[in-house]
Structure 1
Amino acid sequence: MVSQRAPDTQVVVKEKTETKKPKLYRVLLLNDDYTTMEFVVFVLETVFHKSIEEATALMWRIHQTGSGVCGVFAYEIAEMKVATVEAMARHHEFPLKCLMEEE
């Protein structure tokens, strides 16, 4: 009896890679007694690209509840938005605070 050998073969194993979604962070504005409502609306329009209607509604929500979510972003973008808001507030001499928290 003659044994049959398979020709030399190679097995290629492909690993399935999963792309993880980045962690998301909420960017919030905090109400204070000194920053004008007009400036808050301006920030929401320029930094967060809200329409005048959205910005005004969110400004009122921040004013009434003490804080409001301006958007949800990846870490680097959220960090940049917080820094931009705080730089604008300092430039205009307002104590407006902006922070980010993990979603």
Structure 2
Amino acid sequence: MPGTIVLDEPETVDEERLAPLWKVICHDDPITTMEFVVDMLTKIFRQPMPRAMELMLRVHMQGSAVIGLWPESVARKKVNRAHAMARAQLFPLTLSLEKDE
């Protein structure tokens, strides 16, 4: 049709995949305070207060809990920031990473 502009549809690639996500796991210890864990979860991991409280209690009661899923580089940065925050207050907080399957 004269005067009609036809735009090509962008190609979609079925094989395009997102980067795999990594679980950040918080582990219980007898020294790090519950208040510190909640503070760390809200400040570094951006958890809302009710969720931070729930996660802290899960860590305390079960020994560990997955606190979130992020791309590997983001997860590592958050874990490093949390460890630095804990060490600054002399807490032995332990967080680990595990690839989400």
TM-score by length of 2: 0.83
Any idea what SS the aligned residue of 2:96 has? strand
Q: Give structure 1 regions of 4+ aligned residues with deviation exceeding 6 angstroms.
A: none
Q: Distance in 1 between matches of 2:23 and 2:87?
A: 22
What displacement does 1:16 show? Answer: 7.0
Matched residues, percent identical? 38
Question: Is 1:22 aligned to 2:19, yes or no?
Answer: yes
Q: Distance in 1 between matches of 2:30 and 2:18?
A: 38
Question: Is 1:44 aligned to 2:41, yes or no?
Answer: yes
Question: Is 1:98 aligned to 2:101, yes or no?
Answer: no
Q: Distance in 2 between matches of 1:79 and 1:90?
A: 16
Q: Distance in 1 between matches of 2:83 and 2:29?
A: 13
Gaps of 5+ in 1: 1-14
In our comparison, the structure showing a higher alpha carbon Rg is: 1
Residue in 1 that maps onto 2:3: none
> What count of residue pairs does the alignment treat as equivalent?
89
TM-score by length of 1: 0.81
Question: Is 1:65 aligned to 2:45, yes or no?
Answer: no
Residue in 1 that maps onto 2:84: 87
Q: What's the Cα RMSD here?
A: 1.4
Gaps of 5+ in 2: 1-10
